Amino acid sequence: MYNLTQLGDALIILSLCTALIIYAPKIWECLIWASLISALLCSPFKWLFKIPRPAAILEKDSFVIIGKVYIGNNSLPSGHAITVFTVLTVLLWALMPKNMTKRITWITLIIGMGSLFSLSRVGVGAHHLLDVLIGSIIGYISGISGILINRNLPLWAWIGNKKYYPFFITLFIICSVIVMRKIWYDNLPVFYFSLISLFITTYIITRNYVKK
């Protein structure tokens, strides 16, 4: 559960998608819009409802807490659930197969992964179930909105241009340092997958830029 819940961290889940900048930059254009929208939607909800975290109102012996103990009044919605469904919704529609059987399998897989990653927030004692459900809905809306906005306002079309690769090389190096810091404090396998993805993408981008 503690590994799965880390995928709600934008740095971790987006690091796993870095190769798409090279092979499918359009997806990243949508991801940026969707991420911005999700960030704008999350904060007002937390400020408006001010729902206390489980650890703030429940007896510690009545539920399981794994990792950091959250006791603030910012439980609704779950930011991790928003992040997970924002990213997975973009991937869901961007990589949707044409074959009906494969399409059903793909939809089931994405919804299953999103539900598992999001419900891990309940499993580690950081959120209530309602927080996760609302967060998942907001994430889905953010993902769809990101796709639709990018169709009409392709502001990030420069992402696929190789002359901007030095920017991404620098960014990925910084992200790698942050992930290594996470590994130093929490030696979790999911962080290694994220770090490997960053290393591989940085290598490919650097190689392509040098060839250019």
Cα-atom radius of gyration of the chain, to the nearest Å?
A: 18
Q: What is the pTM of this model?
A: 0.95
Q: Are 93 and 103 in contact (CB under 8 A)?
A: no
> Average per-residue pLDDT in the chain?
94
| Range 199-208 average pLDDT | 96
Encoded amino acid at 171, one letter:
L
What's 176's DSSP letter?
H
Q: Supply the pLDDT for residue 176.
A: 98
| Digit-coded pLDDT (tens) for 105-127 | 999 999 999 999 999 999 999 99
The percent of the chain in helix, strand and coil, each rounded to the nearest 5, is 75, 0, 25
Burial grade of 35 (CB within 10 A; 0-12, 13-18, 19 or more) = buried
| Digit-coded pLDDT (tens) for 70-82 | 888 999 999 999 9
Q: Are 53 and 75 in contact (CB under 8 A)?
A: yes
> CA quadruple 134, 138, 144, 147: dihedral positive or negative?
negative
Q: Supply the pLDDT for residue 212.
A: 67
Q: Enter the tokens of residue 49.
A: 């409802």
